[in-house]
Amino acid sequence: MGREGEEVQQLVLEFERRHPEVHVRVQQIPWGAAHEKLLTAYVGGAMPDVFQAGNTWLPELVALGALEPLDERLARWPTLDRGDYFPGILDTNVIEGATYAVPWYVDTRLLFYRSDVLADAGSPEPPRTWTAWTDAMMRVKERVGPERYAILLPLREWQPPVILALQRGGSLLRDGDRYGNFQSPPVRAAFEFYLDLFRRGLAPRAGDTALANLYQDFARGYFSLYISGPWNIGEFARRLPADLADRWTTAPLPAPGDGYPGVSLAGGASLAISRGSGRKDAAWELVEFLSEPAQQVRFYRLTGDLPARKAAWADERLPRDRRARAFWIQLQSVQSTPKIPEWERIAAKVSQYSEAAIRGNLTIDQALAGLERDVDNVLEKRRWLMRAAGR
């Protein structure tokens, strides 16, 4: 999908040299259309033998019966060590005790920030706790004035409030993922912290519209901190002015208290095999090949996507990249969102109610009660199916 679909063809050439009896046809699909195309292909019985899938899509594809379980093949993989994968990332591929995909590349979210602005505001080191984070942002705000902000939190992004809730130890769902749990004290405390960033004027309420000029606004100091993923290492390097090259960097997320870094989301993409494939052995050989540390290093150099296997991080380029090394630290502390098919719809509800509270259309109590009610409605079919299955 996306750029990966273009660059992977260079790796496929080497695979075909090793396996002359196999020809791989790569179909490149835009990320925005990929989820729908996979579902359409499943309904039409035209799934690819091997395909890339976003980690949050896996529960839905498993529920449809679209994916081949891989545990037996993994057990026979001579060079595999499950410990060579980041535990939180590997866990996203395990649904109800079975492994359905292999991590291909990883991502998570952490802080991108203007190190010069924070240093001028009295924070030469990145904050490690929520208290230090808030203090640093308050000092930045005092320094930059009323027309600029400390942090950009786009209103349509569900990830920041969810990350904060996970950091507080909150469970987003309860009772076997049958009901929402957004009014629980840990989740409420996280949302309170999140909303307070807007109330104090540390983040702009029009944050969603600023994305069109993200790099320009970061360069001119409209905001100085931003929660984002590894794809933006390359984008920031390419799009920011040359004189800012040494004035921005990355850092793991602060934690509510002790235990730095704070938890972030387990993201990335995995390689899966269609259950209906007639070429599963050849498909698995391709998965094994693309999972080799050497191929993951090549892929990183082609795309900037961070390797899923720890052995690949021994490559000399990664340790020298201080911005990538922050991701290594953060990836030791990641957690998946609830592994249920309904998560994408629930995430959209989180965005909807968070924005309503940020804009002052709902109080925090009204927003969380409404969110929980809507999530319970989304999960109604899940409860019915689980009751029917005697669970």
Q: Is-contact 330 108, C-beta < 8 A?
A: yes
For tokens 């000399």, the residue is 316
Q: Which of 215, 220, 210, 216 is nearest to 233 (CA)?
A: 215
Residue 31 banded pLDDT, cuts 50, 70, 90 = confident
Q: Which of 127, 11, 1 is nearest to 53 (CA)?
A: 1
pLDDT at residue number 208 = 52
Q: Is the pLDDT of residue 391 over 80?
A: no
**Average confidence (pLDDT) over 231-252:** 94
Surface-to-core class of residue 25, CB atoms within 10 Å of its CB (0-12 exposed, 13-18 middle, 19+ buried):
exposed
Q: Which of 62, 12, 79, 84 is nearest to 283 (CA)?
A: 12
**Average confidence (pLDDT) over 365-371:** 99
Cis omega (within 30 of 0) for bond into 261? yes
Residue 32 banded pLDDT, cuts 50, 70, 90 = confident
Mean pLDDT of the chain: 94
Chain-centroid distance, C-alpha 175: 25
Residues above pLDDT 90, as percent of the chain = 85
**Average confidence (pLDDT) over 268-278:** 96
**Average confidence (pLDDT) over 307-317:** 87
pLDDT at residue number 304 = 85
Q: Is the pLDDT of residue 33 over 70?
A: yes
**Average confidence (pLDDT) over 47-67:** 94
Residue 112 banded pLDDT, cuts 50, 70, 90 = very high
Q: Is the pLDDT of residue 387 over 90?
A: no
Domains of the chain: 2-107+266-320 (3.40.190.10)
Strands 264-265 and 334-335: parallel
Give residue-wise pLDDT tens across range 173-223: 999 999 999 999 999 999 999 999 999 999 999 755 545 589 999 999 999
Alpha helices in the chain (DSSP H): 2-18, 31-43, 58-64, 71-76, 87-91, 115-120, 130-144, 159-167, 185-199, 214-219, 231-239, 280-290, 293-303, 317-320, 322-331, 343-358, 364-378, 380-388
Q: Is the pLDDT of residue 54 over 70?
A: yes
Q: Give one DSSP letter per residue of 68-94, joined into a string.
A: ---HHHHHH-TT--GGGB-HHHHHTTE
**Average confidence (pLDDT) over 316-324:** 78
Instruction: Tell me how far apart the alpha carbons of residues 283 and 92 are, in angstroms, rounded to a whole number.
Output: 21
CA geometry: angle 258, 260, 262, nearest 5 deg? 100
Q: Is the pLDDT of residue 283 over 50?
A: yes
180 bridge partner residues: 173
